[in-house]
Amino acid sequence: MFALTPLESEAIFLSLRVAFWSMLVSLPVAIAVAWLLARTRFPGHALLNGLVHLPLVVPPVVIGYLLLLLLGRNGPMGAWLYDWFGVTVAFTWRGAAVASAVMAFPLMVRAIRLSLESVDVRLEAAARTLGAPPVWVFATVSLPLMLPGILTGAMLAFARGFGEFGATITFVSNIPGETRTLPIALYSMTQVPGGEGGALRLMILSIIIAMLALCASELLARRVRARLAG
């Protein structure tokens, strides 16, 4: 009754793949940046903070265009990536993942930073008096206590990545099977005569998927919190 057309399933699985990889790759970076912002003071601290939050305050199309300039085949980073690793980012699904990651990054960092700031530094001090070096303390005390925030951040980033549109279409365009994610497919449907039905189906699908992701992460977070609270 609600069987997916090949076009729909292609868009959904592409969107899921893009969101998943963008979340996974940005997670360690976000944890590191959150730690720098929450626990250290250095010249350029405010600049880093501003840079992280940039995608939240400028139009997505600006970020998309910036990425195209930087990571396009002729851009400084894009050329370097191609020359050394033979990797092309622009106009590929990897590029869509990069765009999603950049757009979702501030949300992820904020959630993780918040949870890191709520970790009791006195527990970390206690762990060190027991002989544990800082890296071990981070892995066995700080990180487990941050877990609810990390989950929240990951979920937010996943949802943001799943629905990313502006930066993605600017950076990697709208290529069926490669960069035509669900929101871009929906947008395309609305641009052709007779596409309303398909657009409606995609809209409902994307709402369902978002709700499922939300529920799943909420359940997971609840279990983690219950574990932490004993």
Partner 1 sequence: MLEVDIRKRLDNFVLDVAFKTETGGVTALFGRSGAGKTMLVNMLAGLLKPDDGRIQIGDQTLFDSGARVNLCPERRRVGYVFQESRLFPHLSVRSNLYYGRRFAPKGERFHNPTRIIDLLGLETLLKRRPVTLSGGEKQRVAIGRALLAEPRLILMDEPLAALDGSRKSEIIGYIERLRDTLNVPIVYVSHALEEVTRLADQVVLLADGKLVAAGPAVDIMGRPDLSPYNGRNEAGALIETQVVGHDDFGLTDLAFEGGTLCVSGLDLADGTKVRAHIRARDVAIATTRPTDLSILNVFHGRVVGIHGTNSAAMDLELDIGVRLWARITRRSATDLGIEPGREVYALVKSVAIDRHSLGLAQPPKRN
Q: Taking CB under 8 A as the rule, does residue 135 contact partner 1?
A: no
189 near partner 1 (CB under 8 A): no
Judged by beta carbon, residue 144 or residue 195, the one nearer partner 1 is 144
The footprint of partner 1 on this chain (CB under 8 A) covers a number of residues equal to 21
Q: Is 141 in the site for partner 1 (CB under 8 A)?
A: yes
* Cβ proximity to partner 1, 25 vs 132, nearer residue: 132
Please write down the HEC assignment for all residues of the chain: CCCCCHHHHHHHHHHHHHHHHHHHHHHHHHHHHHHHHHHCCCCCHHHHHHHHHHHHHCCHHHHHHHHHHHHCCCCHHHHHHHHHHCCCCCCCHHHHHHHHHHHHHHHHHHHHHHHHHCCCHHHHHHHHHCCCCHHHHHHHHHHHHHHHHHHHHHHHHHHHHHHCCHHHHHHHCCCCCCCCCHHHHHHHHHHCCCCHHHHHHHHHHHHHHHHHHHHHHHHHHHHHHHHHHC
**Residue 207 C-beta: closest distance to partner 1, Å:** 35
Is residue 133 a contact point for partner 1 (CB under 8 A)?
yes
Looking at 94-102, 140-148, 177-185, 190-198, which segment touches partner 1 (CB under 8 A)? 140-148
1/130 with CB nearer partner 1: 130
How many whole angstroms separate alpha carbon 190 and alpha carbon 22? 27
Q: Which two tokens stand for residue 207?
A: 């709402």
Of the candidate spans 52-60, 64-72, 137-145, 213-221, the one that interacts with partner 1 by CB under 8 A turns out to be: 137-145
Residue 74: how many CB atoms within 10 A of its CB? 10
Considering only residues 1 through 30, tell me which ones interact with partner 1, judged by CB under 8 A: none
Contact residue for partner 1 among 25, 88, 144, 166 (CB under 8 A): 144
Q: Whose Cβ is closer to partner 1: residue 120's or residue 218's?
A: 120
Per CB under 8 A, which region of 33-41, 69-77, 102-110, 141-149 contacts partner 1? 141-149
Q: Is the dihedral of CA 62, 63, 65, 69 positive or negative?
A: positive
- Answer for which of 131, 193, 194, 197 binds partner 1 (CB under 8 A) is 131
Neighbours of 125 (CB within 10 A): 10
* Contact positions with partner 1 (CB under 8 A) in 91-130: 120, 122-123, 125-130
Nearer to partner 1, 127 or 156 (CB): 127
* Interface with partner 1 (CB under 8 A): 120, 122-123, 125-134, 140-141, 144-145, 227-230
